[in-house]
Amino acid sequence: MTEKLFIELSELEQVESIALGGSRSGQNYDEKSDYDVYIYCTSQISEKTRNDILKKYCGTMEIGNHYWEYEDNCTLNNGVDIDIIYRNTDDFYREVSEVVENYQARNGYTTCMWHNLMNCKVIYDKNGRLSQAKKRFDVPYPDGLRDNIIKRNMNLLCDTLPSYSHQIEKAIARNDRVSIIHRTTAFLESYFDIIFALNRLTHSGEKRLIELCMKYCSVLPINFEANLNRLFDDLSLCTDKINDDIRIIVAELKKVLIHYIN
C-alpha cells in the first residue's frame, strides 16, 4: 500500500526526495508501527492534489495541519497512522547547516533536525540531494556546537535572572500549578539538550529520553534517573520539594560539566 503511495507522491513535479523517519527508518518496527514520512519539495503541493492522492490509500485524513511542521495526518486503510511532513528542501538544509556548521544553539532540541536527517531512510531521491545532505552532515559532533548548546541552555536552567529555576521558584510561591508544570517542562528541554551535547549525541526528540540517555550516554550526572523520578513524583503533588529537586539536578549537572568540559 505505502509503496504505491510513495510512487504517486514521487511523480509530483515539486517532490525532490521522500524519506522515512521514526521506527520505520530502522529495524525496530512491526506492522502496527506508525509512518513518519518526510517529503522534500521545491515548492508547495496543493491540498487538492494531496487529497486526491491520499484518499485512495487513507480512510481518515486531516489535510494541511500546521501545528508544528506543515503536514497531512492520516490513517491508512489498514488502520496504521501515517504522518506526511512537507519540507522546503533548501530551508531544511539551511536550518541543519546553521546548527552543524555554524554552531547555533537553540532553547532545547537543538540537534533534532540533524538527528532526523542522519537517521532517516531514503525512499526516493530524484537528484540525489537528500543523499548528498546526509553525506555532507555526517561529521563528528563539533566542539563549538557542544559548547554553545551547553552555555545557552545552562543560562536558561539556572544562571540568569529569567532562568527556568527562578521562574519555577516564583510559580511555586504563587501556587501557580500550570506555570510550575510549564516552566519545569522547559527546564527539562534544556536539561536534556545539555546531556546529549555533553555526550556528543544528536537529540532524538521528545520520546523515551531517560531510557535513551541511560542506554547511550556514557557521561551522566550522579543519580541521573533517581533525581528525575523524584522530581516527577514531587511535581504530582506540587510541593515545595520541587525547588530542592531542581537544585540537586542542576548541582549534579554542574559537577559533570566541570569534570568533562574544563
Q: Where are the alpha helices (DSSP H) in 39-128?
A: 47-54, 89-100, 112-119
What's residue 195's pLDDT? 98
* Residue with the three cell numbers 548541582: 251
Residues 166 and 129 in one domain: no
User: What is the mean pLDDT of the segment spanning 151-159?
Assistant: 94
Range of the domain at 239: 143-261
Percent of the chain clearing pLDDT 70 (strictly above): 95
Residues 124 and 57 in one domain: yes
Residues 106 and 174 in one domain: no
Q: What DSSP character marks residue 25?
A: G
Binned at pLDDT 50, 70 and 90, residue 25 comes out as very low
Helices 89-100, 129-136: axis angle to 10 degrees equals 10
Residues 131 and 148 in one domain: no
Report how many domains make up the chain. Answer: 2
What's residue 240's pLDDT? 80
Residues 30 and 84 in one domain: yes
Residues 128 and 185 in one domain: no
Residues 90 and 188 in one domain: no
Percent of the chain clearing pLDDT 90 (strictly above): 88
Q: How confident is the model over 168-221, as pLDDT tens digits?
A: 999 999 999 999 999 999 999 999 999 999 999 999 998 899 999 999 999 999
CA distance readout (Å), 66 to 62, 70, 134: 10, 5, 26
- How confident is the prediction for the chain on average, in pLDDT? 93
What's residue 29's pLDDT? 54
Q: How confident is the model over 219-228, as pLDDT tens digits?
A: 999 999 999 9
CA distance readout (Å), 122 to 130, 131, 149: 8, 7, 29
CATH of the domain at 40: 3.30.460.10
Q: How confident is the model over 33-88, as pLDDT tens digits?
A: 789 999 999 999 999 999 999 999 999 999 999 999 999 999 999 999 999 999 99
